[in-house]
A and B are shown apart, each in its own frame.
Chain A
Amino acid sequence: MWLPLIGLIVGLVLGLLTDLRVPDEYSNYLSIAVLAAFDTLIGGIRAHLQNSYDESVFISGFFFNIILAASLAFLGVHLGVDLYLAAVFAFGVRLFQNIAVIRRIWLTKWMERRQKSEKN
C-alpha cells in the first residue's frame, strides 16, 4: 500500500533534483500527459478495488493514453483547433467518475466495518 506513495515521492524528488525544464511551447503536452497518467492511475486503483484489475491493461493503458493525449494536442495545435480540450474533458470526466466509484467503495467498506463493530 505504501510502495506507490513512496514511488510518487521518489519521482517528485528526482524530478525536482534534476532541475529539468520543458520549453514553454511543450508544457501543454506535458500537462495533458500528466492528466492522462492520473486518469490511468485512478482507473487502476478503482479496478483494483473492484477486483477487475489487469496488469497488462493498466500498463498499456498508461502509455497509450499519454501518447494519445499528447498526439491529440499536437494535432490540435497544427489544425488550429484546441483539440487538447477534448482530452482534458474526457480525462476530467473519467477522473471524477472513477474517484466517485472509489469513494463509494470505501464508504460501503467503512459502513460495513462500523456496523460490525456496533454489533460486537
Chain B
Amino acid sequence: MIHFTLITTIIGFMLAVQFQTIRQPVVRDTRDIWELRKDLKQEQELQHRLLLEIRDYEEKLHSYEKKQSTSKETVLQETVNELKQEAGLTEAKGAGLVLTIEPFYPDNYVGPITETVSPELLKRLVNELNMYGAKEIAIANERIINTTAIRDVNGVTKVNNRKLTSLPIEVKVIADDVQSLYSHLQVSNILDDFIIENLQLTVSKPMSTVILPPYEGQVRVKYMKAVKAEKEEN
C-alpha cells in the first residue's frame, strides 16, 4: 500500500505540473477608461523619470570624457592611434600616385591572354616602390602592411588572402616626396617587366590627395609579449 501511495503521489505531482503547464493564464483586461488613464499617467511618469536618469548619466559620461581629455590617458590614446596609423590599420590620406595595371597586347599578338598579375611581379613592384620612398601602398584597395602576403593560390593571385580584382588594377601609393618617386618610376625597369608579361603599367601624374583604405584583417602578433613593468612610474 505504501508503494501505491508513493506512486500516486508522484502521479499527482506530475499531473499538477502538467496541468499548470498546459493552462494558459487567462487574464482579461477589464480596466475602464479612468483606470487606463491612471495607468497611462503612471507609465508616463516612469518614462519621464527614466529620461531624467538617462540625461544624468549622459552628463556624467560627458564630464568623465572631459576629465579624460586632460589626463595621462589621452597621451596613451594618441600613441595608440599613431601606432595604428603606422601599422596601416587606419585610412591613409596624402600626396601620391595612382598606378594602373592594364592588359597590353601588340597588334600582331598571338598567344595566351593574361588575366591576372603574377605575385612575383607585384612583389617586385612593391619592392621598387619602397625603394623609391613610398610610405603607404594599396594594391586593388588592399592595404599593404608589414605582414601582407602576396602569393599564388591555385593560379589566383591573392593579396592579404583576398583575390585580386580583374584587370585593370589600381595601385595607390603615398610618398613624402612624390616628385622623386614619380621621376624614379619613369626611368625604372619595372615598366619593361610588366610589358614582358603583357601588362602595361601606367603612372599617373603626382596627385595632391590619394586615399588608401585601412587594412581590414586581424594583425596577429605571435612572437611578441608585453613587458610588465616592475614598478609603476608616476
Using CB atoms and an 8 Å cutoff, list the residues of chain A in contact with chain B: 3-16, 19-22, 24, 27, 30-31, 33-34, 37-38, 40-41, 44, 55, 58-59, 62
Q: Is B218 interfacial (CB 8 A cutoff)?
A: no
Determine which residue in B10, B12, B18, B19 has the highest number of CB atoms from chain A within 10 A of its CB, and name it: B12
CB neighbours (8 Å) of B10 from chain A are: 11, 37
A4-B8, A37-B10 known; A16 vs B20 contact (CB < 8 Å): yes
Give the residue of B1, B3, B5, B22 whose beta carbon is less than 8 angstroms from that of A27: B22
Q: Is B149 interfacial (CB 8 A cutoff)?
A: no
User: Other CB < 8 Å A-B pairs besides A20-B20, A37-B10, A41-B11, 11 of them?
Assistant: A3-B5, A7-B6, A13-B16, A15-B13, A30-B21, A31-B18, A33-B14, A34-B11, A34-B14, A37-B11, A59-B7
A10-B12, A11-B11 known; A30 vs B3 contact (CB < 8 Å): no
Distance from A77 Cβ to chain B, minimum over Cβ atoms (Å)? 17
Q: Is B219 interfacial (CB 8 A cutoff)?
A: no
Interface size on B, residues (CB 8 A): 22
Is there contact, CB below 8 Å, between A12 and B15? yes
Q: Is B54 interfacial (CB 8 A cutoff)?
A: no
The B47-102 residues at the A interface (CB cut-off 8 A) are none
CB neighbours (8 Å) of A20 from chain B are: 17, 20
Is there contact, CB below 8 Å, between A59 and B12? no
CB neighbours (8 Å) of A10 from chain B are: 9, 12
Give the residue of A4, A12, A19, A27 whose beta carbon is less than 8 angstroms from that of B13: A12
CB neighbours (8 Å) of B13 from chain A are: 11-12, 14-15
Which B residue sits closest to A48, measured CB to CB?
Answer: B4
Is there contact, CB below 8 Å, between A34 and B8? no
A44 to B11, CA, bound (A): 14
CB neighbours (8 Å) of B9 from chain A are: 7-8, 10-11, 14
Which B residue sits closest to A58, measured CB to CB?
Answer: B3
Is there contact, CB below 8 Å, between B7 and A12? no
Give the residue of A5, A14, A58 whose beta carbon is less than 8 angstroms from that of B16: A14
Determine which residue in A5, A15, A38 has the highest number of CB atoms from chain B within 10 A of its CB, and name it: A15
* Pairs A-B, 9 closest by C-beta atoms: A15-B16, A11-B12, A7-B5, A11-B9, A7-B9, A11-B13, A7-B8, A8-B8, A12-B12
